[in-house]
Chain A
Amino acid sequence: GQQLNQSPQSMFIQEGEDVSMNCTSSSIFNTWLWYKQDPGEGPVLLIALYKAGELTSNGRLTAQFGITRKDSFLNISASIPSDVGIYFCAGQLRGSARQLTFGSGTQLTVLP
């Protein structure tokens, strides 16, 4: 089955630093999504990418859909304490279903 390799597994950064995380796949996806999950809550959609090569921003967050359609990255600029959480990438194949394949997550800790 499809698998997503998300890295790094965890990151410890100083407040104000930039962060980068990425996902790679052995399969092609038509859509890449990035979610953030806080403890005790469900994943919250951050950015959705629908075209290969697409670069999309949402405030301090920027994500790109790789040209090969097998990878995506998420950057967070000028990190703040509320950025703490687990970030997941997810790939989706367009078709008859909306099944998402998720990465294993990146645990982000922001140190004051």
Chain B
Amino acid sequence: KAGVTQTPRYLIKTRGQQVTLSCSPISGHRSVSWYQQTPGQGLQFLFEYFSETQRNKGNFPGRFSGRQFSNSRSEMNVSTLELGDSALYLCASSLAPPGQGDSPLHFGNGTRLTVT
């Protein structure tokens, strides 16, 4: 069974640009979450999607957005990039809907975004 797949693995962007990251969850998983990982702040929750609806959002500015498609694949977008957005962006999927059942998150290998 394939794991969580994230593309691309690496991205280099310039300040002010925007970027879109993609995530394909484990087959059968319908809940997708996004996390940002930086050396200074560690792993921080961005948002969670289920059934194409955002169920929860972390404490990030509105420049960070996401969406989920009917096949459970998800994308996140960061607009007007800042140097501080440089990070590893991790996608995770889960079998059960939010709030239902004990279903841990399984992470992909992330997209390494560098903003210059």
Contact = CB atoms under 8 A, between A and B. Distances in A.
Interface of A: 1, 31, 33, 35, 40-45, 48, 50, 88, 90, 94-105
Given A31-B102, A48-B102, A96 B56 contact: yes
Contacts of A99: 33, 45, 48, 56, 58
Contact of A98 (B31, B42, B43): B31
Given A88-B43, A99-B45, A42 B98 contact: no
A33 B31 CA distance: 18
Interface in B7-65: 31, 33, 35, 42-45, 48, 55-56, 58-59
Contacts of A101: 45
6 contacts: A31-B102, A41-B110, A44-B107, A98-B94, A98-B103, A102-B43
The dominant DSSP class at the A interface is loop
A13 to B, nearest CB: 23
Describe B's contact surface by its main secondary structure.
Answer: strand
Contacts of B42: 102-105
Q: Which of B31, B56, B105 is packed against the most chain A CB atoms within 10 Å?
A: B105
Contacts of B105: 33, 45, 98, 100
Given A99-B33, A99-B48, 11 more contacts: A40-B109, A41-B110, A42-B4, A43-B43, A45-B106, A48-B104, A95-B99, A98-B33, A98-B94, A99-B45, A102-B42
B108 interface: yes
Given A96-B55, A102-B43, A104-B42, A42 B99 contact: no
